[in-house]
Structure 1
């Protein structure tokens, strides 16, 4: 993030332009030495005349002010509500079948449809290397990868493709192929979890590769499925997800949608959330569990609940809560820079260890601040330190909360980790870590609710717009949040309980809480003119969604900037 900020400033000051394409700055951002940056800039300056530096103005509503002390004041705005909606794909040019002649295509998957795809490709003059995810065969010189494990009749159809398939996809992408296509039965279930988010990100990071997930009707005859899949290889356009399970060829668009007149004007006093909490059925006796709720954006929703309903709040997070007063020398350091300096003065630790200690201290402070603030707002609050990936411990804790109170009225799940890197630099183990933390943790809390036969008024998963649009450097995070939506939708259908995934745009940091972005990233967003969600507005938006939104809805997007 810091290198991106530096690169953007350097390019702006020299009057160069990346013309809105972040990929043009990729090499400069990745440069780790001044010499590498100078070489990149020299080549650009040699190739084009230098234009006068452009004024770096930011729209007033998105401007980030940095007051003394280095903290960022609340720069956010109210988010816009969008619904993921299937719409017909605009007519796109289609390449002739002869375009496949001479191409070498790696096809994984078994079954009648996979056999028909391989046969049709060969008839069009392509060389087909058939294999499986575990044994795909040689990848050198491959012009494309076609994943067919998620088709009806495939013996691999019940196992999730991700995170395991990422390593193979990364290997093929290293050769800059013409095609990366996955095909899936519309009823394939967990097999396809995360593929939409992953393909949307592949399309962003590899614009010269036709990257697509084709969702088909698995009840169609194998030869018809094969024709549809090959047609997707030949189809133009930039739709990373295409649904062909109905009569029309469709894709997803994020369509603005209001909550209706009651939410806009008849919900009660503006900004307090009391009417919304009552509409949801929350009062002082209600119990809401927030996983990942003591820090970041979830703490703001906890505040909204506390202020509007004064309910009982059970916070679960990985951060240990401080057990004793801080060393006065450290307590006087109020930000990361001064805290690192104070730790360094104590001696005996390497820089990396100092950084880890500083982050842990700041995280503990934020937990303490959240618990204190919720109590001041009238809530009964407890904090539990727990890694939600520990399935048995999660099950015991949820059961204990339910046993003590006799109820769980709502559960918000916002756990996750971020390890952003471009696909080319992303280690498969890192991809799996990000993916499994989000997905396995969510499944653990849902399983815990199932074992209690607990019927909460709502379950909310905190997702990300990275899943709905794709995002450079966040293939794992986009896939994980897309999978989160799928898991929640299936659970809602099976259990009859309300489960909503909210894909958030970036929240602004404010008042001792980190939001979704750091101070550095806030400045980078501001430089690019990207607005952030005001934390209070975001929290009240979720209360409004739970109060006035369609209970059958399983996914919604709240963001401020279209991608």
Structure 2
């Protein structure tokens, strides 16, 4: 809760001990929710803690239920005390923090002098657990005053959905209003030789290491560790040995099992190892040559963010190097202080890639020509009215903005592909009158749907269908020829059949945009391996099936765009699976470009500002959090034009870029 208050309530928590009596609670003053305050807000005064006599458990419970009802739309009488706030009521970590904050404000919470106990309120997963926490504090004999001050110039650790790189470019102007977007900046990875800071080799003496895979490399490394007084125990990837509390775990399977991707299968091993508190966690692979290490860099960038005291590193090595050389390089990484979570070893040099601003040049900076925004770019790409562009995951989220830009600039044929089925008829008038999720949940609850999980699924399906319908209407109004295909891209056979049918009908397929994916954010320590696999496979298996379908066509497309995420480029707390999946997408795209010569680029997007009808993955709660922290959101129209310019004017050898509105 302390971290939450710092991150969610735009301030620093100060707790002063008092021995004047039991927990004091009083109605909160009428002030704006602290979570919506911008980063530059002045310090807030200390919260009042005058307590009314006779505050009861019933009052605590009613306050919590009322806040949840207002935030979600579920009627109070439907919110059972033992429902899981996230699993049953779809209250994610950001929204849960806001709920806890508003409850704290309404009750003018005062807590014990040990501020660490505050964490329990936001961690509580049920209403009953929140009420129990309040009851325990009410009966204590030590109280404290919580004050919320303006944040420091450099914020504390980022929340689960906000990345903050170790070496960020200069900050762009950030919006002060929630949801206001600005033009994104273009960043490209540039490698340089960075030896890193060495540590005393004596540090290894007495340490125990588990080494999985690697064949002769692992054997040589075990010998080198022995020469430094350390123990190197050889193991296998799927063993339970990681639970034994080794000082270091070294995953070298990416050097030997080149036909078997490490992810998602390696995640449970890494998760178990991290739970024991090791000092080192290293993995190695021949990145770029095969798909064995796809996603590992993105995963390790996130591990480094969630475990800042750990030396966590993925090492990309030259597969042609001898086992002895590779073993010495890995030993050297163990003796290099924690810095970059991803390095490459080639010859005698150690390379680290940093993201740096790189402009596209004069043509891209020239602005709209006489024909309007995007027209010259569409012509440079080779798009015209008879061109055909397929957008997978293109009817919802941020992708429709690019579809709009295509339709407006070229009038080309657009084939949208998504999992959401189209509605079979007009929407029910009562449901149609419910314009947001909370209102829709309320209508569905009044209609007798008794299960919050069923209500949530139904509401989500209605909202998704609305967005798809709106996208088709928008594109049609712009003069584009548009069709929608309901298909799960994880079905490789169905994807291949659809691509073949589109190509057979038009005799061409000019461009493909792949934006499929799901998010199920959790910190690594709390992550269900099945959820990690689901998030990873949805994006990665879908991409592989898409490329197999393209390979089967008579001709290749002009361009292929993968929509990635800035989480892959920087790592992001709570998004180990999503960062890994988008990083894997990057590697897959790079290999496809090298194999086919097709213009291929993976764009790792920063967060986009929500647009009317197309909110993307930035919820209202997350948008407020970004605004509070001064993190800029990409203007949707500017983001779409940025992609057109990337395809038109960028160096085709650049297969991976980052577009972000902030200096992350």
Q: Same fold (TM over 0.5)?
A: yes
Distance change >3 Å, CA 138–CA 53, structure 1 → 2: closer
Q: After superposition, where does 1:361-376 map in structure 2 within 5 Å?
A: 361-376=462-477
Distance change >3 Å, CA 121–CA 60, structure 1 → 2: closer
Deviation at 1:142, TM superposition (A): 1.2
Distance 2:117 2:599 in 1: 44
Tell whether the 8 Å contact from 2:310 to 2:338 is kept in structure 1 after alignment.
no
Aligned to 1:193, the other structure's residue is in SS state: coil
In the alignment, which residue of structure 2 is the partner of 1:475? 576
Q: Deviations for 1:63-116, whole angstroms, at most 9, x for unmatched residues?
A: 234xxxxxxxx5111110000121222x54311222111111110004221110
Deviation at 1:135, TM superposition (A): 2.9
Match of 1:4 among 88, 97, 109: 97
Q: Aligned pair 1:79/2:184, yes or no?
A: yes
TM (norm. structure 2) is 0.77
Stretch of structure 1 that moved more, 326-335 or 467-476: 326-335
Deviation at 1:119, TM superposition (A): 1.1
Deviation at 1:348, TM superposition (A): 3.9
Distance 2:453 2:492 in 1: 31
Tell whether the 8 Å contact from 1:515 to 1:535 is kept in structure 2 after alignment.
no
In the alignment, which residue of structure 2 is the partner of 1:71? none
Mind listing any 5+ residue stretches in structure 2 that lack a counterpart? 1-93, 111-115, 156-171
Deviation at 1:134, TM superposition (A): 2.3
The RMSD of aligned alpha carbons is 2.8
Following superposition, which runs of at least 4 residues in structure 1 exceed 4 angstroms of deviation?
6-16, 23-29, 35-42, 46-52, 55-61
Deviation at 1:333, TM superposition (A): 1.0
In the alignment, which residue of structure 1 is the partner of 2:130? 34
Tell whether the 8 Å contact from 2:609 to 2:623 is kept in structure 1 after alignment.
yes
Tell whether the 8 Å contact from 2:242 to 2:272 is kept in structure 1 after alignment.
no
Q: Deviations for 1:359-410, whole angstroms, at most 9, x for unmatched residues?
A: 1001100000000000000100000000000011111111000000110000
Distance 1:37 1:540 in 2: 50
Deviation at 1:187, TM superposition (A): 5.3
Tell whether the 8 Å contact from 2:259 to 2:291 is kept in structure 1 after alignment.
yes
Tell whether the 8 Å contact from 1:15 to 1:50 is kept in structure 2 after alignment.
yes
In the alignment, which residue of structure 2 is the partner of 1:105? 209
Q: Aligned pair 1:145/2:238, yes or no?
A: no
In the alignment, which residue of structure 2 is the partner of 1:128? 232
Distance change >3 Å, CA 290–CA 37, structure 1 → 2: farther
Q: Deviations for 1:139-190, whole angstroms, at most 9, x for unmatched residues?
A: 3121111011122xx2x23211000000000000001110110012355410
In the alignment, which residue of structure 2 is the partner of 1:62? 175
Q: Aligned pair 1:323/2:424, yes or no?
A: yes
Tell whether the 8 Å contact from 2:173 to 2:632 is kept in structure 1 after alignment.
no
Deviation at 1:31, TM superposition (A): 3.4
Tell whether the 8 Å contact from 1:5 to 1:524 is kept in structure 2 after alignment.
no
In the alignment, which residue of structure 2 is the partner of 1:485? 586
Match of 2:291 among 183, 190, 196: 190
In the alignment, which residue of structure 2 is the partner of 1:167? 268
In the alignment, which residue of structure 1 is the partner of 2:512? 411
Deviation at 1:237, TM superposition (A): 3.6
Stretch of structure 1 that moved more, 173-182 or 131-140: 131-140
Q: After superposition, where does 1:203-282 map in structure 2 within 5 Å?
A: 203-265=304-366, 268-269=369-370, 272-282=373-383
Distance 1:290 1:412 in 2: 5
Distance change >3 Å, CA 532–CA 375, structure 1 → 2: same
Distance 2:174 2:314 in 1: 37
Deviation at 1:234, TM superposition (A): 1.3
Distance 1:138 1:56 in 2: 39
Q: Aligned pair 1:450/2:563, yes or no?
A: no
Tell whether the 8 Å contact from 1:158 to 1:188 is kept in structure 2 after alignment.
no
Aligned to 2:604, the other structure's residue is in SS state: strand
Distance change >3 Å, CA 15–CA 498, structure 1 → 2: farther
Tell whether the 8 Å contact from 2:243 to 2:273 is kept in structure 1 after alignment.
yes
In the alignment, which residue of structure 2 is the partner of 1:507? 608
Distance change >3 Å, CA 149–CA 12, structure 1 → 2: farther
Distance 2:629 2:99 in 1: 13
Q: Aligned pair 1:358/2:463, yes or no?
A: no
Distance 1:188 1:10 in 2: 53
Q: Deviations for 1:487-514, whole angstroms, at most 9, x for unmatched residues?
A: 0111111111111100000111111111
Distance change >3 Å, CA 453–CA 86, structure 1 → 2: farther
Distance 2:103 2:446 in 1: 33
Q: Aligned pair 1:53/2:166, yes or no?
A: no
Distance 1:41 1:263 in 2: 60
Stretch of structure 1 that moved more, 448-457 or 401-410: 448-457
Mind listing any 5+ residue stretches in structure 1 that lack a counterpart? 17-22, 66-73
Tell whether the 8 Å contact from 1:509 to 1:517 is kept in structure 2 after alignment.
yes
Distance 1:222 1:420 in 2: 38
Aligned to 1:411, the other structure's residue is in SS state: strand
Tell whether the 8 Å contact from 1:149 to 1:184 is kept in structure 2 after alignment.
yes
In the alignment, which residue of structure 2 is the partner of 1:70? none
Distance 1:317 1:115 in 2: 48
Q: Which has the larger radius of gyration?
A: 2
Distance 1:308 1:265 in 2: 16
Q: Deviations for 1:239-260, whole angstroms, at most 9, x for unmatched residues?
A: 0001112443111111100000
Stretch of structure 1 that moved more, 46-55 or 387-396: 46-55
Distance 1:398 1:76 in 2: 35
Aligned to 1:299, the other structure's residue is in SS state: helix
